[in-house]
Structure 1
Amino acid sequence: MRTEAKKKSLDAVKRLEGLTGKLRKLVENDAYCTEILQLALAMQGHIKHIQGAVLESHLHTCAGKKLNSEKDKDAFIDEVISVIGLSKR
């Protein structure tokens, strides 16, 4: 993974760790539903940030080699499509 993507991902993971504890407390304390939902949506945003950073890094570091190889090209494309959820399989 590229250094910048790794740093961004780790920063987001650390934020998620803190938010997870806060979410647990909100649920345990029967907090107002929209408070819980807002926090859960914020957590989804951090997860999407991680996904984007990792995918971008993967495409920058692995795509060139794989796409230039007739043997690996189709498998790589299928892998990326499957991982990002665009596959109709």
Structure 2
Amino acid sequence: MNLDKSKKRIAKKVKMGFQGYPQIAIEYFGTNPNCANEVSIKFTLEEGAPVQEERFSSKDDVRENEVIQSAIVKMIERSEAKTVLQTAGVTQSQ
């Protein structure tokens, strides 16, 4: 899947806000605000259920990695997530 198309599909789901469960939360991590080297995708089946987490990392910015962005879209589709949340910006990693 094309990088721009993946980013748009993720952004569209995020823009919809909370729609119920299942829910996916996306958070980017990096050593500086301009480059995210890691992404965390957390899946919650229902309220109070244990959270399942998947992480992807790259030497370059994961937000510009077509394979990783396509994988996130596939995770959203396959889990039939009603809600997709995304933390703004890049969280500083230690």
Q: Would you call these one fold, judging by a TM-score over 0.5?
A: no
The TM-score with structure 2 as length reference comes to: 0.24
More strand by share: 2
Of structures 1 and 2, the larger Rg is shown by: 1
The TM-score with structure 1 as length reference comes to: 0.25
More helix by share: 1
